[in-house]
Amino acid sequence: MAAPGTALAPDARAVRTVAFVEGVRTPFGKAGDKGIYAGTRADDLVVNTIRELLRRHPELPPERVDEVAIAATTQIGDQGLTIGRTAAILAGLPKSVPGFALDRMCAGAMTAVTTTAAGIGFGAYDVVIAGGVEHMGRHPMGEGVDPNPRIIADKLVDPTALVMGQTAENLHDRFPHITKQRTDAYAARSQEKYAEAVKTGKIGPELVPVATRSAELGWGLATEDEPPRPGTTLEQLAGLKTPFRPHGRITAGNAAGLNDGATAALLADEATARELGLPIGMKLVGYSFAGVEPEVMGIGPVPATEKLLKRTGLSIEDIGLFEINEAFAVQVLAFLDHYGIADDDPRVNQWGGAIACGHPLASSGVRLMTQLSRQFAERPDVRYGLTTMCIGIGMGGTVIWENPAFEGKK
């Protein structure tokens, strides 16, 4: 007769509440030889963010970190070699702390958060660090890749699907009422809102100073984002070139640039956070990813959000704050139009977005979450917020969060 099996612990399969403790990021730089991080390694950018989280939370014993998940779109050179593990070691975490790398293009950091959050919810982890990095100056998107020729030869996708700027032009074709003038106006407002947020101290506390090295200037210290263009006017935007199509609509002014930077967030089971005395910035409600035609990847946030709203039982009217990644202005406006939200709705990207501060691909998801968490602290009248982004090769990702400071609608 077989021996009776050992019973599982009572809470072995219990679903637990996931808390977003805090997120930090490096200042974002311009990619290229003249950018602030031209002489800085990608993995060192990540190390700075991990160390900053540990410095800000001395109440967290480093050995209590159960996993480090770091995303990079181009996993090569100083962004390769399982960067989550190597960055953890370089940051001084105990060697008993494991780590891994992952890639979902622009949604890398978002996926690092949702993947490890699922582990927390299931009980595999109590505390994790999740984030992303992209050094587009050292590693342009697509470096070293070898796409299977059948993707194009078998007409699985249109050739424009592999060039993000061309997919944004395709989105304009699909929604001709989203004019270039309208996207330029949105872009100018993003710059204006970002500049105001910096001036009033809304943006800044989450930034991690980074030592930089220039062959011409020597050592320096990066303390603020490099890409913003304060004072941008509609007249300036109207005169910019359209590199992806003659007489097109996508320009360097109504799209995010090529950038370098890193982000990291501390996540924990709610009970563990309270045990350790960690603050709770927001609580995870749910997340969803969806696929769309790669040729119009910018529409991805719409089905991802629809899928998640259905799953959670919430409606778009329940969302009091939106953080939408501004890869291209047209992609944000397509999302807003779908839900009947005005271009200048104060709930949307109230501190500006990637058109102003930059979009270092795999790092951006945690920037969105960090800003939403800090906005929640100021808005006890808002219960739910949403972070969403389009993803290359035709996807979208959305995460809904709950404000622990919610006191009821005024």
**How far is the C-alpha of 189 from the C-alpha of 254, rounded, in Å?**
10
pLDDT classification of 214: cutoffs 50, 70, 90? confident
* Averaged pLDDT, 128-139: 97
SS3 at position 323 = strand
Residue 12: predicted pLDDT: 66
* Tens digit of each residue's pLDDT (9 = 90 or more) over 81-119: 999 999 999 999 999 999 999 999 999 999 999 999 999
Residues annotated as catalytic are 106, 359, 390
Q: Which DSSP helix (H) or strand (E) runs through 282?
A: strand 282-291
Whether pLDDT at 230 is above 80 = yes
**How far is the C-alpha of 71 from the C-alpha of 303, rounded, in Å?**
23
Q: What percent of the chain has pLDDT over 70?
A: 98
* Tens digit of each residue's pLDDT (9 = 90 or more) over 46-59: 999 999 999 999 99
Residue 3: predicted pLDDT: 53
**Structure tokens that stand for 86 in this block:** 């190597």
The domain locations on the chain are 18-137+256-400
Residue 343: predicted pLDDT: 98
Classify domain 18-137+256-400 by CATH number: 3.40.47.10
**Structure tokens that stand for 180 in this block:** 């270039």
Residue 4: predicted pLDDT: 59
Phi, psi at 143, each rounded to 5°: -60, 125
Cα angle, residue 206 at apex, residues 16 and 271 outer, rounded to 5° = 20
* Tens digit of each residue's pLDDT (9 = 90 or more) over 303-357: 999 999 999 999 999 999 999 999 999 999 999 999 999 999 999 999 999 999 9
**Structure tokens that stand for 4 in this block:** 């009776």
**Structure tokens that stand for 51 in this block:** 């160390």
Q: How many residues does the chain have?
A: 410
Residue 1: predicted pLDDT: 47
Residue 14: predicted pLDDT: 75
Which residue carries 């390694």 as its tokens?
A: 41
Q: For the chain, give the mean pLDDT.
A: 95
Alpha-carbon dihedral angle through residues 220, 221, 224, 229, given to the nearest 10 degrees: 0
Whether pLDDT at 167 is above 80 = yes
Is the model more confident about 5 or about 1?
5
* Averaged pLDDT, 224-238: 96
Percent of the chain as helix, strand, coil, to the nearest 5: 35, 20, 40
Whether pTM exceeds 0.85: yes
pLDDT classification of 7: cutoffs 50, 70, 90? confident
